[in-house]
Amino acid sequence: MRAVIYARVSTEEQAQKELSIPSQIEICKKFAVQNGYEVIDIFIDAGKSGTTSEREAFQELIAQAKKKPPPFNAILVYNYSRFSRNEMDSIVYEELLDRQHIKLISVTQPLPEDNAIRGLVRGIFRVIDNWYALNASQEARRGQIALIKQGYYCGGPVPYGYMLETLDNGRKRLVPNPETASVVQKIFEMVVSGYSYNEIISYLTQENIKPPRGRFWRKNSLSNIIHSHVYKGDFTYGRRAKKHKRRNRKEEWIIIENTHEALVSRDLWELAQRTHKKPEHIQRSPALLGGLIICAQCGSKMWYKKTYRQGKQYGNYICANREESGTCDMPAIAASIIENFVANKVIDILLASNIDEVIESIIKQQEENNGIKKLIQEKTKKLEQVHRTRKNLLRSLEILDLTDEDFIELNGRLRQLTEEEEEIKQKIEEYQKELALTDIPDKETIREALIKLKASANSINLDDKNALRDFLHIVVSKIFINTKAKEYQIILKIPSLESEERDSTGSP
């Protein structure tokens, strides 16, 4: 396996001997030899702070790591703080490395491969990151909106019927296009006069009027014109989220009124909306709690299922056993009810949680859950057993009057037991070393994540189903449902908050 070494020392750290660049490299090299890595390159940032932009070698390292395929499988660092100054940064880069199947190995503080708490903390950060990215883009929005309000045009394709005029200050604004503005007006008039889209299309084709795009007029282009706010003089901002390349939902749009000259009156525009309703985009019905709900009676998962009644769509969670084989009779539960209940309950629990207590129990649980500790316990028990047997054997050798043959045999057995004891002792020592190295994110990192989680619980928009789904899947482990007894038990992934919320009083 091919590895590179990254070493960094800040100006303040340069005085500390054990952190010197040569000693960082030496320790990493030793690790490489012991673990079968071939070191193919070394990246060094000396006298640099942790700020990413300042670190040239680091930038080069990341550039190399992005290559397809990457030239190495592992990055060795003395400790994680060499790689990044804060956990947040490291998570961002670790994601990149994950994708490229590159391991980041801190030779002095290895992390267990699969660490539930670390996964949780990472998950929290990922959601929070998206959260902040959203806020940041809203900041940027504000600047643009100010310009739009002053009547300036801020990029994007020029709508059909308009053209751009450059002002003295170099900015641009929308003005009616003398050739096409009248076409837009004609389309609106025809729509409110009761002409169908097909009839309008034949008229426009007959008149040799060029469509906004392509060679032919389509129903879609007419629909887009009729429903665009731009023709009544308003500007719609934020219809598409740039980053995700998906359409934003209508509620997320910002409509700024009277930014430019209208082509049709507001009355005419409204009338046209009523004549031709825009087909609603049917959203893929997302099961907010998909995979989380479990039937309390038979223990099988409850599936999300859509049903239609009188043309309306309803979502239900239904026991898989009931659905498949009819062996369970747990009644289904309406998705809207249980989702609402769980979301509110989880938010309440998080807001009421005491961060210090949570941290204590995370650390406690981590220790308790630690498989290595169990192994040590097992080995210690075994050691006691072997030790006892050996002692007994030794005593029998002294007390009993043995034949030579028996003596030789028992003596051989004794030697065997002594060896076994020694072996177990060594193993325990190894485990203890491993245990000492087993690391969980430090308290401050966990604290930071929890604070952010609380903040997001406080500000999450329950109508933003995508954000809510992410949020719930990060914090909720399981939900046991007994619709007969009206008992709902929510188990969270965060220790000490996995208090079993049994609610039989009110809703649902």
Q: Which residue ranges make up the site for Zn ion (CB under 5 A)? A: 295, 297-298, 319, 321, 328, 330
Query: Which candidate, 227, 239, 225, places its Cα nearest to that of 270?
Result: 227
| Distant-in-sequence, close-in-space partners of 507: CB < 8 Å, separation ≥ 6 | 337, 341
Minimum CB distance to Zn ion smaller for 34 or for 325: 325
Give the nearest distance from C-beta 473 to Zn ion in angstroms: 22
Minimum CB distance to Zn ion smaller for 214 or for 326: 326
Question: Rounded distance, CA 179 to CA 176, Å?
Answer: 9
Minimum CB distance to Zn ion smaller for 58 or for 480: 480
DSSP assignments along 71-133, one per residue: S-SEEEESSHHHH-SSHHHHHHHHHHHHHTT-EEEESSSPPPSS-HHHHHHHHHHHHHHHHHH
- ∠ at Cα 238 (237, 241), nearest 5°? 160
Q: Is the dihedral of CA 458, 494, 134, 83 positive or negative?
A: positive
Minimum CB distance to Zn ion smaller for 259 or for 297: 297
Q: Is the dihedral of CA 85, 90, 92, 97 positive or negative?
A: positive
Neighbours of 5 (CB within 10 A): 27
Residue carrying the six token digits 């990472």: 122
Give the nearest distance from C-beta 234 to Zn ion in angstroms: 53
Q: At 226, is the secondary structure helix, strand, or coil?
A: helix
Minimum CB distance to Zn ion smaller for 262 or for 298: 298
Give the nearest distance from C-beta 481 to Zn ion in angstroms: 9
Give the nearest distance from C-beta 296 to Zn ion in angstroms: 8
Give the nearest distance from C-beta 490 to Zn ion in angstroms: 18
Check if the beta carbon of residue 221 is closer than 8 Å to that of residue 212: yes
Give the nearest distance from C-beta 428 to Zn ion in angstroms: 45
Minimum CB distance to Zn ion smaller for 297 or for 456: 297
Minimum CB distance to Zn ion smaller for 105 or for 335: 335
Distance from CA of residue 421 to its chain's centroid?
Answer: 48
Check if the beta carbon of residue 200 is closer than 8 Å to that of residue 276: no
Give the nearest distance from C-beta 316 to Zn ion in angstroms: 14
Minimum CB distance to Zn ion smaller for 481 or for 490: 481
Minimum CB distance to Zn ion smaller for 265 or for 489: 489
Give the nearest distance from C-beta 302 to Zn ion in angstroms: 8
Question: Rounded distance, CA 500 to CA 489, Å?
Answer: 6
Check if the beta carbon of residue 160 is closer than 8 Å to that of residue 212: yes
Give the nearest distance from C-beta 501 to Zn ion in angstroms: 20
Question: Rounded distance, CA 52 to CA 90, Å?
Answer: 11
Distance from CA of residue 379 to its chain's centroid?
Answer: 39
